[in-house]
Amino acid sequence: MGTKVETEIIESSSFVPGFKFEVAKTIDGEGVLRCFQCGICSASCPVSDAVKVRPHQVIREVLLGMKDEVLSHKTLWVCSICFACNVRCPQNVKPASVMFVLKNMAAKEKGVPEGLKAVGKTILEEGMIQKLTEFQTKKRAALGLPKVSKINVKDLRRLLEDTGFEETVR
């Protein structure tokens, strides 16, 4: 007796046929059309077990034109940007780079997840991804570590405003 495989019916009426070309015409997404679904990117990925849709499946959905599904995946935001997939891909698809493209598209069309917005707001306020607490400052001193230099938040903020970062995290 074999095991029962559950399949999901995909509604093709929601597909955007030109989506793969939209991704492919970007500098970081140009390799997406070369993917032949070997799965090496997913096998190389240190976080693929933490997501429902693995990297090669995201790429497959891009190729199928499943734009709404792709831009809604948690996988885009969980990518650790280790580039193991880029190095190992036999077709030079550069899956991590494609994830950058998709993440930017998702940020524009769907917004940024609330947890990442909170990190972004801290960067705007502190110039770092987290505010250094009094406990951490004392612990650093006790360990003989130097004080953390103050970051010129004014200059950083100007740069982040120019790139649209502030708009994205608000």
- Domain residue ranges of the chain, discontinuous segments joined by +: 12-109, 114-169
Residue 158, pLDDT above cutoff 90: no
Q: What percentage of the chain has pLDDT greater than the value 70? A: 96
Mean pLDDT score, 62-69: 96
d(CA 71, CA 126): 30
Residue 20, pLDDT above cutoff 80: yes
Token pair 């502190």 is found at: 126
Q: What is the fold of 12-109?
A: Fumarate Reductase Iron-sulfur Protein; Chain B, domain 2 (1.10.1060)
Tell me the per-residue pLDDT of 78-117, one tens digit each, with 9 for 90 and over. Answer: 998 899 999 999 999 999 999 999 999 999 999 999 988 8
Task: Find the helix packing angle between 95-109 and 55-64, rounded to 10°.
Answer: 60
d(CA 33, CA 71): 18
Residue 9, pLDDT above cutoff 70: yes
Residue 44, pLDDT above cutoff 70: yes
What's the pLDDT at 149?
A: 86
Contact of 112 with 169, CB cutoff 8 Å: yes
- Among candidate residues 101, 90, 85, 20, the one with its CA nearest the CA of residue 48: 85
d(CA 92, CA 89): 5
How many of the other CB atoms lie within 10 Å of CB of 11? 7
Ramachandran angles phi, psi of 99, nearest 5°: -60, -35
Mean pLDDT of the chain: 91
Read off the pTM.
0.79
What's the pLDDT at 42?
A: 96
What's the pLDDT at 5?
A: 67
Quick check: helix, strand or coil at residue 116? helix
- What is residue 26's DSSP assignment? S
